[in-house]
Amino acid sequence: MASDPKANRASGRPGFVARTWRRLRSPSARWSVFALLAVGVVLSAVAIIGTQVMVHVTGTDAFCGGACHSMQWVAQEHQVGPHGATRTGMRATCHDCHIPREYPHLLWYKAVAGTKDVIGEMRGVIDTEAKFQAERRRMAELVWHEYKENDSRACRGCHVFSADVLAKQQDAAKASHATVLEGRATCIDCHKGVGHLAP
């Protein structure tokens, strides 16, 4: 039965908020402060380690191209493309190109993108190759727009782009890349079909 706040005040008994605040500030009658701190440390460690494991597992190409059913078709393209099979042996993973590297932006981005993909899969929007291909242009334009907005941040995470690099390039590349150094263009303006085939 709910207590009457006016009756509590009249009887001198503290209200719900005051009682709750006192319980939060006071050590438990059953648990010592040390025990409560130890439980807090253990729970925090489990949360941090669990988050890192989740980020690692869901950031592999095996997860993106295998467990995530809808991405299997573009994962196959990526494996044989210039970022999946390079002459130097270096390769860019799905995570390198599509997920920010810094916390907490990385966690927020993964949560939003993962939820969107799961909902698309459950609703049957992209659950077959034919449906995926029908949606491909729209999805690609979202990624291109994102790259344009953040000045192709993912590209610049691996590729060094400076006046010294530009000086060593062929004339055709120099002309295009000069606009990037001047801030009038960004990588994605010309390189839309690098990680995957451009739709």
> Is 199 domain-assigned?
yes
What pLDDT sits at residue 1?
46
Answer yes or no: do 8 and 99 share one domain: no
17 plus 105 within the same structural domain: no
- pLDDT at residue 75 greater than cutoff 50: yes
Question: What confidence score (pLDDT) does residue 148 get?
Answer: 93
Residues 136 and 170 occupy one common structural domain? yes
Quick check: is 85 in a domain? Answer: yes
With cut-offs at 50, 70 and 90, classify the pLDDT of residue 6.
low
Structural domain contains residue 21: yes
What is the DSSP secondary structure assignment for residue 85, as one 8-state letter?
Answer: S
pLDDT in tens, 124-137: 888 888 888 898 89
Instruction: Name the CA dihedral angle for 138, 144, 145, 147, rounded to a multiple of 10 degrees.
Output: 150
Buried b (16+ CB within 10 A) or exposed e, 93-122: bbbbbbbbeeeeeeeeebeeeeeebeebee
Do 11 and 94 reside in the same domain of the chain?
A: no
DSSP 86: -
- What's the pLDDT band for 41 if we cut at 50, 70, 90? very high
DSSP state of 66: I
Greater confidence (24 vs 110) lies with 110
116 and 149, same domain (yes or no): yes
- The two most distant CA atoms of the chain are separated, in Å, by 88
Say whether both 138 and 198 belong to one domain: yes
Q: Based on the structure, what is the number of domains in the chain? A: 2
Between CA 4 and CA 67 the distance in angstroms is: 55
Q: Give a yes or no: residue 56 inside a domain.
A: no
Give the range of the structural domain holding residue 101, as residue numbers without chain letter: 71-199
In a domain, 182, yes or no: yes
User: Tell me, what's the pLDDT at 9?
Assistant: 55
pLDDT given at position 172 = 77
Same domain (yes/no): 33, 131: no
- Does residue 122 belong to any structural domain of this protein? yes
My answer on whether 141 and 185 are in the same domain is yes
- The pLDDT tens digits for 88-128 are 778 888 888 888 888 899 999 999 988 888 888 788 888 88
Query: Alpha-carbon distance 38 to 4, whole Å?
Result: 38
Higher pLDDT pick, 167 / 10: 167
Tell me the average pLDDT across 52-70: 82
Residues 197, 143 share a domain: yes
Task: Flag whether 53 is in a domain.
Answer: no
Q: Per the domain annotation, does 62 fall within a domain?
A: no
Same domain as 182, residue 109? yes
